[in-house]
Structure 1
Amino acid sequence: MSTSIAVVIPTLNEERVLSRTLLSLRQLRFDEVVLVDGGSRDQTVSIAQGQLPGLGLHSAKMLVAEQGRASQMNAGARDTRSDVLLFLHADTLLPPETRTEIERVLENPKYVGGRFDVRFEDDRGWAWLISRLINWRSRWSGIATGDQALFVRRSAFDDLGGFADVPLMEDIELTRRLKRMGSFAALRATVTTSFRRWQRQGTLRTILQMWLLRFLYWMGVPPKMLQHWYGTIR
């Protein structure tokens, strides 16, 4: 019996990237896709309404939830029935072997979930270096970020109560708790994501800000306080 997989996509003003991401899902044989919008003011909702029915899936729908990636992803998870939840950013493309890789890992009951390696679309210079550092840090620490397409057994996700209701670092916080429940897989298969947020305020400045935020988080500074530092990078 195959494992059922639901893809949950939180969105907020993603008109530039969403269409391509949705089209890429048509060939990946997922059981459910739920897009959860947090109040987009561009054409995100129209794009979703136009493309979701054409994915050819058993269930493909759009919801509206309170703005905030954690609350949006929790709302999407509650609306699905699949065995596995895959949380995907709207600017990220999954590899063709996604389903096979997830099923392979979760055949082993010791794994509660996992993540993929990441690369940026323009995989040169800073983009090349940053993606390698992200993957190395994640493999070394066992902690992952949302850019890496987190997947988790529904049973584990429900036992943990989903993502914590925090304004940022919800991905890191979830993977820290998952590690206490079982093993968390670091797959070599690679997702491809946009480099846009790193370039928006300057690559070096963004790198330093990200490192500072994560350092402060590890030192115990509450996410709500860190939100004031985060600005519009997210």
Structure 2
Amino acid sequence: MIVSIIIPAFNETATIAATLRVLQPLREHGHEVIVVDGGSRDGTPRVAAPFADRVLVAPRGRARQMNAGAAVATGAVLWFLHADTLAPADATEQIALARARGYGWGRFDVRLTGRKRLLRVVAWAMNRRSCLSGIATGDQGLFVNRLLFEALGGYPDQPLMEDVELSRRLKRRGRPACLPGPLVTSARRWERDGVWSTIVLMWRLRLAYFCGADARTLQRRYERGESPPRRQNRL
């Protein structure tokens, strides 16, 4: 089983080398690493090139970048990983075991960096919510059988909640495997904007999306760090 690890990136020179170094033993075992850059201005493709099998440039947007990587991937399994996330050494073994148990897709538990005790609670809540709801977010390293991904048309072309939308479609084909991981992902947004502020923002954005709000409108508010107004929650 070959796993294609697809990493969308944009201005990630501060983190991507560490992310890719952890994946080098997997490359030695025949798995492939594909970095898809969205037009970085800080030299991200140059930094990534020595550690990846392919470095592509695609129109900016996580969904578009991940779809571009999937289009050239050769593995039977596609694993989408963030550029600021460190994978466990046995990640592909966990994926193989999930496939052997009949799962067509799944995600990993996460652990957030940072010393704040509240971040541990945030990670625990993310993991429990995901297992109970069957919805995976990008931080959790969604993986999916290639043929299933292609049958669903890949990630939807939207600027936000693309992982939530794909999870909703995948759920119709079966529940996700909830793998222990853990993936160690950066808590930089929580630390920069405040833990509680980020929690409230993300929950309100997610609620608005499930109630029918437009992903492009939510993206603008996400970038500004604003919660959507109540009237949007009723869309």
- Whether TM exceeds 0.5 here: the answer is yes
Task: Determine helix, strand or coil for the equivalent of 1:13.
Answer: coil
Following superposition, the deviation at residue 32 of structure 1 comes to 1.2
Deviates more, 1:27-36 or 1:80-89: 27-36
Gaps of 5+ in 1: 53-59
Gaps of 5+ in 2: 226-235
1:33 matched residue in structure 2: 33
Matched letter for residue 224 of structure 1:
R
Matched, 1:11 2:9: yes
Matched letter for residue 126 of structure 2:
I
Matched, 1:224 2:216: yes
Seen in structure 2, the aligned counterparts of structure 1 residues 64 and 82 have a Cα distance that, compared at 3 Å, is same
Structure 2 CA distance, aligned partners of 1:64 and 1:151?
22
**Cα deviation 1:6-47 (Å, max 9, x = unaligned):** 000000000100111111001233521110000101121220
1:85 matched residue in structure 2: 78
Following superposition, the deviation at residue 86 of structure 1 comes to 0.3
Following superposition, the deviation at residue 232 of structure 1 comes to 5.5
TM-score, length-scaled by structure 1? 0.92
Q: Output aligned runs, 1:122-133, within 5 Å.
A: 122=114, 124-133=116-125
Task: Determine helix, strand or coil for the equivalent of 1:126.
Answer: helix
Following superposition, the deviation at residue 162 of structure 1 comes to 0.1
Task: Determine helix, strand or coil for the equivalent of 1:181.
Answer: coil
CA contact (8 A) 1:6 1:30 kept: no
RMSD: 1.3
Matched letter for residue 105 of structure 1:
A
Structure 2 CA distance, aligned partners of 1:84 and 1:24?
19
Q: Output aligned runs, 1:184-223, within 5 Å.
A: 184-223=176-215
Task: Determine helix, strand or coil for the equivalent of 2:172.
Answer: helix
Matched letter for residue 211 of structure 1:
W
Q: Which runs of 4+ in 1 moved over 2 A?
A: 49-52
Q: Output aligned runs, 1:155-166, within 5 Å.
A: 155-166=147-158
**Cα deviation 1:114-150 (Å, max 9, x = unaligned):** 0000001225412111101100110110111010001
1:56 matched residue in structure 2: none
1:75 matched residue in structure 2: 68
Aligned length: 223
TM-score, length-scaled by structure 2? 0.91
CA contact (8 A) 2:76 2:145 kept: yes
CA contact (8 A) 1:10 1:38 kept: yes
